[in-house]
Structure 1
Amino acid sequence: MEGTSRVPARFVAEAGPDALLSMRKSMESSRGPASFFTQADALLRKNLVFQKRKSCTNICTILFPVLICLLVGSLQTWVNILLVKYGPKCQCYCVEAKNGTCKKEACLDNMMPDQLSPCPVPSPPKWPPLLQVPEPKYRATRDDIIPFTDLPDKSCKRTKSCPATILVTGGNQSFAKSLTDNFFMKNSSSNISDYLGTFLSNLILGTDSQPMQTQFTEAAFLPFGSLYVVQPKCASNSTHLVSFQVAGSPLEKEVECVQGLPLWRSNSSAINDELFRGYEKGNAEKNSNEILAAYDFLNSDEKILNVSIWYNSTYKTLEDNGEPTVLRVPRSINVASSAYLRVLRGGANMQFEYVKEMPKLGMRIMIDLSSLTGTLFYVWVMELLFPIILTYLVYEKQWKLRIMMKMHGLGNGPYWTISYAYFLLLSSVYTLCFVMLGSITDLKIFQLNDYSIQFVFYFIYINLQIALAFFVAAFFSDVKTATVVGYIYVFGSGLLGEYLFQYFIEDTSFSGGWILVMEMIPALSLYRGIYEFSNYALQASQVGTSGMQWRDLGDRQNGIKDVLVIMVVEWLLLLPVACYLDQVVSLGDGVGKSTLFFLPCFRKKPSLPFCKPILQQQKSEVLVEIEKPDLYQERQVVEQLLREPSTSHVIICDNLQKVYPGRDGNPEKLAVRELSLALPRGECFGILGPNGAGKTSLIHMMIGFIKPTSGTAYIHGMDIRTDMEKIYTGMGVCPQHDLLWETLTGREHLMFYGRLKNLKGAALSQAVEESLKSVNLFHGGVGDKPAGKYSGGMKRRLSIAISLIGDPKVVYMDEPSSGLDPASRKILWDVVKRAKQDRAIILTIVCLSVAAHSMEEAEALCDRLGIVVDGSLQCIGNAKELKARFGGSRVLTIMTSPSEEEEEIEHLVLRLSPRANKIYHLSGTHKFELPKEDVRIADIFQLVKEAQRKFPVDAWELVDTTLEDVFIKVAKGEQAFNELS
């Protein structure tokens, strides 16, 4: 209760300033409420002890990424050893003969450089330039799809004699045709074998084999490759076995002649359409019409050569993973340029000797497992903390530990600060271990990328992840449900990123705006960042450079800068939204605030205490005054206190009512009916009633756990509907069920709650010692044992001690003696008797089958009692007053032999009092109820003596009305009234 305490509006209007000042002074504790830092210190100390008891779990959580890194690092080391031991050797080696001498020397780097990509290639081999010639079954022919009559008939495909078509167009048709006439050399001999080996550079060679990824090895010159020479005309025997030198090595290959057929087209659009409709690679049954090459000479003439060339780049191979490969282009260019030279210079010829790749350095064969394991693996490792944080938050809510701390004065600010700081520390250590051990174990994704970028990225993400956990926790009140949803989010978002989001990132045609929208999901932001780290690390390990640096954030292609901005914005938005929802959404965590609680002008105003029409209210009060004068009198006291506040009365209930809405077809339940009550300081008020009478609902409204349907209550002048956070600082609660941390000891519980009540130093230690002694948990080291090892009675006594520590001025005890043995119950009674000296206590007592100990507890502890039936307060008074009002009779019990005359005993009793009521007769036991005003005790003794003269009396008993009889009479009367109404 900070500063001046709030009082009801009616108090302010009708009470004098002196009364208000005295009330405020009386409400201020000598210590005052605990400050923000005191509450934060209390929660921090409790959490440290709690986490210390969970050290094994925390260590396993932090060591999880360590073990993962060690596993991947060990596999990486093993793979590196295998690569060094069994990897390809680039130097020459000796092929031994039987006598141990070198039979020959083989140099792998010169033989097959494509298969030995790590080997250096200082002098790449020379390969004759080739054209990409269509296979015979795919060469262009005349059909219904392509309506050009100058194409050959498709019958040539059966004999594999189809020519290779070359399409030509241009602005100057005559000049373009003169160029096509000079595409090929005019050979005097039809037998190409005569000059193939000598004048290889003068011929147009081609192949139908598919190229490899690099051209260090030309597939056409391997044993399975095919070679063609393109000529304007081929002889009948067009296949020859030719020996020649290629790349410095002798080679013998079959070379087949294929006719080149140039055909004119009117424009480039026609060529483009013919190429598009004619290409159907890989299915010979369809009309596949592939073209050798196509040329558009545009505005070419004798002064200028301007040409566009079509070439086939749509072949796909296993080596390039299905991506288009730039095929054999240089020879197509040479054909056009050589033809142009021949037109200008007559028989001049431009010889094309060879093509050659750039030299390259050697490199180690590296398999970076940290990059090859995929982004999904690291995303899952980083996200595994999310369900852990979410489960912890929902656990405190489900087991009411959060509201228990709140009811003993813990504010939202300290709770959020300490909880957030703990999760941030846990996440930071977790991530730090992951990155450090990954670097130590040679995982390139951590080693090669700039550590400062990684630090910024992971730090922002773990903050976003914590904020997300707080946000999601507001919508759950069950740990199992929250855990399942948490892990579904982790694994589902990882799979979504790996099998959908990654393809969107790699697809350059996909909209960047939609990628940004998808990255608003925190898990996909994490996926994008790790994906980029992995790509940079993989590229750096292959090329031998550094990974991602700060300068790379300017590259719009990697998206890291956008991800960082998105995560920061989401973090700064989610955190206040989560805090807001924590205040507004109520899922087992007390009464939520109004949606605009942070705006004073929009705060919900307390409703007036009287909601009924005046005539109906007056009629009800007259009826209560006649039938239940004690309730009417209590109502008058409440009215008087509302007009003239008094510092002596701590609790004022004004027409408090709770109605639960109907569910599943059941009618609504009226749990508490217009209860009015005033409790002064130093009074223990007991509420008696059976299960379902509304006792717990009343307590829950008073402690802010549920909201009243109508009416209100004032604690120290503060309204329970609007000022519960201030009320909590001076309140103690013993709930119906024990809300304890299983791993904390009894002493640690009391130390924590004592600090929340602003106890410090020696005063705190003394209060804890006295509390443990008062509930018999001090001796034998019981107070230093974990609460999880306590019996039910010991837990109950600890809950009682918690409710009383810190000298709260208002204490609520909901069925405190339930589950206690007689000895523990006696300890409880002594504690409550001592505690009620300077505070108001509301204590509920459940009456099960008229339990004797319940009535003894009510008489021993309570200064006043109220009996509640069906949510309605039936009577108020101390035990003697209730007995006098509802117990105007005595009970006489006479026990005889079962064979004795029953009528004789009944005749004697009725002669004593005609209004005597026979309760029952069973096996010789006769029980009668006698009105007090009709019978004197001496008359009863006289009756017994007379009965003994007439027949044997085994035993007899005369008792006054007990509280049990009062309760039964009131309860039965109310139930009968409800049945009639």
Structure 2
Amino acid sequence: MANSASASFFTQAKALLLKNITFQKRNVKTNVRLILFPVVLCVLLFMLQLLLDTQLDKSKFKCGCMCADNRTKISQCPDSEKRCGVQYSDFFQAPMCAIPNPVEWPPLLQLPAPPNRAVRTGFLPFFDLPDASCRRTDSCPLSLLFTGENHSFALSVSEKMFRSTLSISDFGSNFLAGLAVNVLGSESEPERNNFIEPAFSSDLPIYYLQTNCSGTENSGFSFPSPTGANNEIKCALAKNLWRNSSTDINSELYKGYQRGNSEGQVNEIVSAFDFLNSNGNRYNVGIWYNSTYRQDAGFTANALLRIPRSVNLISNSFLQFLLGPGTKIILEFVKEMPKPETIFRFDISSMVGPLFFTWVILQLFPVILTSLVYEKQQKLRIMMKMHGLGDRPYWMISYGYFLVTSVIYMLCFVIFGSLLGKNITIEFIPLRIYPFSLMLLTLFSGLKIFTVNDYSIQFVFYFIYINLQIALAFLVATMFSNVKTATVTAYIGVFGTGLLGGFLFRFLVENTSFPSKLMVGGWIILMELYPGFALHRGLYELAQFSIPGNRRGTDGMKWHNLSESTNGIKEVLIIMFAEWIVMLFAAFYIDQVLSSGSRKGPLFLLKGFQKKSPFQKLDTHMQVSKELSQMEKPDVIQEKEKVEELLLEPTINHAILCDDLRKVYPGRDGNPDKFAVRGLFLSVPPGECFGMLGPNGAGKTSFINMMIGLTKPTSGTAFVQGLDIRTQMGGIYSTMGVCPQHDLLWDSLTGREHLLFYGRLKNLRGSVLTQAVEDSLKGLNLFHGGVADKQVGKYSGGMKRRLSVAISLIGDPKIVYMDEPSSGLDPASRKMLWSVVKHAKQNRAIILTTHSMEEAEALCDRLGIFVNGSLQCVGNAKELKARYGGTYVLTVTTSSEHEKDVENMVQKLTPNGNKIYHLSGTQKFELPKEDVRISDVFQAVDVAKRKFSVSAWGLVDTTLEDVFIKVARQAQTFDTFS
């Protein structure tokens, strides 16, 4: 019958919860460090922010007045030396000062420097390109490529792009306006801000492109620049080259720029034009330009790349083709957009963007994973199961604890980040170019990610993710059995996820240049199935909405923003919620199938729909000869018959009944099957201590493991309190106590706290629980001297062993398994332990394994000697010694020359004497009890002493150890010959 007083679901849950709370109190410093980890990082970032703000608060980062001598303070600088606002000689002021009317600059083409202009090479074997010798005199022409479906049309239009001559009269009174009429270019590289065109602020020449450079014009002349530079204007020959297709152009552009020549120089083309299907009635042109002149990808506007002039040239050519040479659209100037004064503010935390927050949140994963794997590695989970803790309370309390920890962690993170965010004013440079603005959304979002976005959205996002993270940890924990391996793997995953999210996944989210947006979206969704990337995507979207007045024109993310097509957080929430449910179910399923102590079949969920079939036994012919040899032993036959009689009764009153129990481990690598337990029949009534004796490898551990649910029997079964070990281990656990061979304890809990926890699992409560704990501590000498309230990690090996015994007995379990309980104990502690076990066996069944014959005789009512998986004999110590003993053992020690005399003496006592030991004058003989009397032995030794010297002698009855050795040898000998 099952124990009606077994602990309920809520009692088990409460016991585990109290144990976990106590355990966490012992580790309060670790928990505080964990929860304060994001707070400390935010404080560090805040301190760095203050330092950066202090530096950015200096006058050189502000628009205002500065002294011409930078070493003189502005307060001591005379008015004549002050320079206020943007000065041409102080270009650094341009990003900070308000510029309502930016300077107008003539439009330019981006030209390659003379040493880099395209020439004929081995990998560009076009004969219309100049010979490489022109580079020695800086006379290489500027090459432009053309193609199109209508060759003649393209040729006619392209010939009108450049003038053939340049006259100084074109300039008039406005020198810069005169330059704008001509096609100008520069080899100087564009910069991030074109308030000052770098071509006119350096000493590099300004080129005017023509179809013919001759006479004095080619020698060049100079003109004054508003910036103070002295630019030389020089003629540059523009050469239009025809190519058969856009593919040829693309190949030439790529090969020329990427491969270069033997000296590391590149072969640059100015630009290329594809007229496509253009004609006199239709104008459709594609333009190639060299975007590698951008200083940083996404930072430079098209105007700064000097692209407008290319568009204007090809448009003017078409107009002149249609309306004559006098028709043109004059591109007078390009300039920066007007802008207000800008205050530089950089938020350190946001400079790492979602990458930083991804790492902060993901660092919870290794903590949860290692905690789960630690219980698995130390076998603490199965120890709790064997003392009655069910799977449902374990999962509820463990999951709940990790959820509470994660929620507290995230609350500290968000609350503290919000407080810091309110103290930092963040502004940004309002550039209008999309790639730059997109970058700034991350660079300047900062801690605004907490304060600007709707807190309810953040709560839903973080709550779903931490639940997903916990479910993932439970799932991954089923794949690991070693804490170190799990920890290393988890942290590699944390850092790898952050890096891949920041440099790969984010690239896909932001990049819009792929030919198929649908394909990119598919890859993004596929990658978001990995929880770490889903977290990164959500943080990225929150960052995009964290700047007031950003490109969406919203003040942070609100619920209605989730419907926007460009906002991916909605799909992230759906994916994470679905994965949370799936992973939690998968983790529970795998845990039930694979975990020790409750292993179930893969189809255990369909158990209710399956037809119950009788348990199939092994073939009866398996190991027939060995079973016959076992059946020949009368005591073993009698035990089998007793078991069969008890099984026929309506109710099973015996504590333990083993019915033909077998365990076979399949052979591997060509080895035969290993028969660990062979057809065991055993009955143990309440109030009996049954001792299992046997050599190492005899099968004792396999038998115990089947009885406590660690492994399932291959065939046969056993009943514990009437419950079948194959299908009802959950009920058996509530009536069972286990003292494992190795102590399974929490180092940070005290002995008293261990007993309180396991007592609660056995449904003890209130004063009954307190009294039971006190009695257990006193009975095993763990009460006095503060030992009970000392952490187990500080216990000696013997104290831990005594605590394990106390745990196995608390709560009045009806069945107790003790695997070598006295190992490592001193004699005094061993005697005390024996006293406790003797008292405990009065109302419960105990199965005890030991290698100490003294302990077996002192504690066990019956003994069974187990050899090669078979029970060789059963009975109490006196019966076994009488059955397998029947002899006296005579030991005599003499000098070596008198050994023969001792043998003669034994032969006179009995011709059936058998010498069993001989070493350096010491001999042992077995003397049948029916052949000799003790008095005869004493008399014979006394006579021998008169004839020769006898150093020592002794006569003893058969010991249990002698019986054990004899039975083991006989069984092993039979096994060898059979």
Q: For 1:686, what is the secondary structure of its paired residue?
A: strand
> Is residue 61 of structure 2 the alignment partner of residue 88 of structure 1?
yes
1:751 maps onto 2:739 in alignment? no
Change over 3 Å in CA distance of 1:677–1:217 after alignment to 2: same
Q: Which region of structure 1 is more displaced relative to structure 2, 574-583 or 918-927?
A: 918-927
Which of 492, 496, 501 in structure 2 is aligned with 1:497?
501
Deviations 1:587-619 (A, max 9, x none): xx33521111111256696754754448997x9
Aligned match of 1:597? 604
| CA deviation after TM superposition for structure 1 residue 298, in Å | 5.6
Superposition pairs of residues 462-477 of structure 1, within 5 angstroms? 462-477=466-481
Letter in structure 1 aligned against 2:526: V
**Bigger CA drift: 938-947 or 161-170?**
161-170
Query: Are positions 1:419 and 2:398 aligned together?
Result: yes
CA deviation map 1:208-246 (0-9, x unaligned): 344444442223322335435567877622266465796
SS of 1:316's equivalent? helix
Give the deviation of 1:479 after TM superposition: 1.7
Per-residue CA deviation, residues 885-904 of structure 1 (Å, 9 max, x unaligned), is 12222344567x75996666
Partner of 2:293: 317
Partner amino acid, structure 2, of 1:875: C
The alpha-carbon deviation at position 763 of structure 1 amounts to 1.2
Alignment of 1:537-936 (within 5 A): 537=546, 546-586=555-595, 589-590=596-597, 592-601=599-608, 608=615, 611-613=618-620, 624=630, 627-663=632-668, 667-846=672-851, 854-892=852-890, 898=895, 909-919=906-916, 927-936=924-933
- Structure 1 partner of 2:35: 62
Aligned partners of 1:143 and 1:900: how far apart in 2?
Answer: 109
Q: Structure 2 CA distance, aligned partners of 1:768 and 1:826?
A: 21
- Cα shift readout 1:430-478 (whole Å, capped 9, x = no counterpart): 2222333333344434444443333322222221111111111112222
Please say if 1:520 is aligned against 2:499. no
Aligned with residue 358 of structure 2, among 354, 374, 379: 379
Matched, 1:207 2:185: yes
Distance 1:568 1:159, change over 3 A: closer
Structure 1 residues 159 and 405: alpha-carbon distance in aligned structure 2, compared to 1, 3 A threshold: closer
Residues 649-703 of structure 1: CA deviation (Å, up to 9, x unaligned): 1111011122334456655433222111011111111112222222222111110
Supply the distance in 2 between the matched residues of 1:671 and 1:594 (Cα, whole angstroms).
22
Deviation at 1:866, TM superposition (A): 0.8
- For residues 83-122 of structure 1, what are the structure 2 equivalents within 5 Å? 83-85=56-58, 87-95=60-68, 101-111=78-88, 116-122=94-100
1:179 and 1:377 map into 2 onto residues whose CA distance is 53
Write the distance in 1 (CA, Å) between the matches of 2:390 and 2:473. Answer: 20
Structure of larger gyration radius: 1
Number of residue pairs the alignment of both structures matches: 930
| CA distances 1:878-935 after superposition (whole Å, capped 9, x unpaired) | 122212212222344567x759966666556544444333455778766543323334
**DSSP-derived class of the 2:604 partner:** coil
Question: Could you say which residue in structure 2 is the equivalent of 1:965?
Answer: 962
Unaligned runs of 5+ in 2: 422-445
| TM-aligned CA deviation for residue 809 of structure 1 | 0.9
Structure 2 vs 1, CA of residues 100 and 271 (structure 1 numbering), >3 Å: closer, same or farther? same
Q: Is the 8 A contact 1:130 1:205 kept in 2?
A: yes
Task: Assess, with a 3 A threshold, how the Cα gap between structure 1 residues 472 and 563 changes in structure 2: closer, same or farther.
Answer: same
SS at match of 2:781: coil
Could you say if the C-alpha distance between residues 645 and 880 of structure 1 is closer, same or farther in structure 2, counting changes exceeding 3 Å? farther
Residues 1:598 and 1:275: Cα distance change in structure 2 (over 3 Å):
closer
Question: What secondary structure is seen at the aligned counterpart in 2 of 1:364?
Answer: coil
**CA distance 1:123–1:951, change in 2 (3 Å):** closer
- Cα–Cα, structure 1 residues 603 and 76, in superposed 2: closer, same or farther, change >3 Å? farther
Q: CA deviation at 1:515?
A: 1.9
Tell whether the 8 Å contact from 1:334 to 1:352 is kept in structure 2 after alignment. no
Do the aligned residues in 1 keep the contact of 2:147 with 2:154 (CA within 8 Å)?
no
1:395-434 equivalences under 5 Å are 395-434=374-413
Label 1:405 to 1:163 Cα distance change in 2 as closer, same or farther (>3 A).
Answer: closer
Does the 8 A contact of 1:133 with 1:164 survive in 2?
no
Contact 1:278-1:290 within 8 A present in 2 as well? no
Percent identity over paired residues: 51
Q: State how far apart, in whole Å, the 2-side matches of 1:84 and 1:316 are.
A: 34
TM-score normalised over the length of structure 2? 0.84
* Equivalent residues in 2 for 1:257-272, closer than 5 Å: none
1:127 is matched by which residue type in structure 2? W
Give the match for residue 337 of structure 2: 358
Q: Given residue 654 of structure 2, which amino acid in structure 1 is its aligned partner?
A: H
Q: Structure 1 pair 767/315, CA: closer, same or farther in 2 (3 Å)? A: closer
1:721 and 1:647, CA in 2 relative to 1: closer, same or farther beyond 3 A? closer
Query: For residues 533 and 818 of structure 2, what CA distance do their matches in structure 1 show?
Result: 50
Matched, 1:236 2:215: yes
**Cα distance change on mapping 1:644 and 1:727 into 2, 3 Å:** same
Q: Supply the distance in 1 between the matched residues of 2:294 and 2:155 (Cα, whole angstroms).
A: 39
Q: How does 1:217-296 map to 2 (within 5 A)?
A: 217-228=196-207, 236-238=215-217, 241=221, 253-256=231-234, 279=253, 280=256, 290=270
Task: Mark the CA change 1:348 to 1:971 in structure 2 (over 3 Å): closer, same or farther.
Answer: closer
Q: Distance in 2 between the 1:203 and 1:161 partners?
A: 24
Work out whether residues 203 and 229 of structure 2, in 8 Å CA contact, stay in contact via their aligned partners in 1. no
Task: Measure, in 1, the Cα distance between the counterparts of 2:332 and 2:647.
Answer: 112
Tell me the residue number matched to 1:977: 974
Match of 1:127 among 82, 100, 105: 105
Aligned residue type for 2:885:
G
Which segment is superposed worse, 80-89 or 270-279?
270-279
Deviates more, 1:601-610 or 1:162-171: 162-171
SS at 1:594 equivalent: coil
* RMSD of aligned alpha carbons: 4.4
Tell whether the 8 Å contact from 1:139 to 1:291 is kept in structure 2 after alignment. no
| 1:461 and 2:465 correspond | yes
Deviations 1:736-779 (A, max 9, x none): 11111111111111110010011111111111111112222222
Equivalent-residue separation in structure 1 for 2:277 and 2:970 (angstroms): 113
The AA in structure 1 aligned to 2:21 is L
SS at match of 1:776: coil
Alignment partner of 1:48 out of 21, 38, 55: 21
**CA gap 1:219/1:694 in 2 versus in 1, 3 angstroms:** same
For residues 837-861 of structure 1, the C-alpha deviation after alignment (integer angstroms, 9 at most, x for no partner) is: 2211111121xxxxxxx22322222
| Contact 2:68 2:81 (C-alpha < 8 Å) held by counterparts | yes
Question: In 1, are the aligned partners of 2:358 and 2:536 still within 8 Å (CA)?
Answer: yes
Alignment CA distance shift 1:390-1:955 (3 Å):
same
Say whether the 8 Å CA contact 1:609–1:654 is kept in structure 2.
no
Q: Measure, in 2, the Cα distance between the counterparts of 1:576 and 1:308.
A: 59
Letter in 2 for 1:56: K
- Which residue matches 1:851? none
Aligned to 1:37: 10
The whole-number CA distance in structure 1 between the counterparts of 2:6 and 2:352 is: 56
How far does the alpha carbon of each residue in 1:928-960 deviate from its partner, in whole angstroms, 9 at most, with x for none?
433233344565566567668878988765433
**Per-residue deviation, 1:639:** 1.0
**Whole-angstrom distance in 1 between the partners of 2:353 and 2:52:** 17
In the alignment, the residues of structure 2 paired with residue 926 and residue 298 of structure 1 have an alpha-carbon distance, to the nearest angstrom, of 119
Assess, with a 3 A threshold, how the Cα gap between structure 1 residues 930 and 211 changes in structure 2: closer, same or farther. closer
The whole-number CA distance in structure 2 between the counterparts of 1:347 and 1:924 is: 135
More divergent stretch after superposition (378-387 vs 167-176): 167-176
